[in-house]
Amino acid sequence: MRRTTLWIACISALGAFATGSFVGGCSSESAATTSSGQTNDVLSPCDTCHTQDRSKRLAGGARLADKEQTTSAGRATLYAPNLTPDNDTGIGSWTDDQLKFAIRDGVGKDGLTLCPPMQHYTGLSDEKLKEIITAMRRLPAVKNDVQRSKCPPIK
């Protein structure tokens, strides 16, 4: 449940970026530079929530109080997850198919539905999805054990 509930904010930002509905929050300074010297902006929408320390890009940890919601089942307490390829605390143990399923269908690695504010991005092209996942995998792995989010069951 931990990693499932932690994915909420970035998946929303990735989908908003890919569908063109993302507005503001990132600067060109937050974009990664690839080994060829090109700027990789595909992950910049995630920086707003997932980068607390610029030296640890997308390592998560920030509380997402503005995204927390109260449902009939209780109040959510959300923390931005670690999106680096660290095997223990990030996405390193996720397969590309698990990441695709989370982004497109809102289902986490453990098979549980991701909680609000997660949205489903079924219209995301295979090409854009591959670009996003490849960019996340190229980040330096950062061990950052993010506090567990609390998400009430979806009814």
pLDDT, one tens digit per residue, over 28-74 is 333 444 554 444 578 887 888 888 888 999 999 888 888 787 777 78
pLDDT, one tens digit per residue, over 9-37 is 444 444 444 433 333 333 333 344 455 44
| Segments making up each domain of the chain, as ranges | 2-19+38-138
- Cis, bond preceding 85 (omega within 30 deg of 0): no
115, 41 contact by CB (below 8 A): no
The percent of residues above 90 in pLDDT, for the chain, comes to: 25
Cα–Cα separations (whole angstroms), residue 93 to 6, 44, 83, 86, 90:
15, 22, 11, 8, 8
Flag whether the pTM goes above 0.85.
no
- Which structure tokens are listed for 84? 């680096």
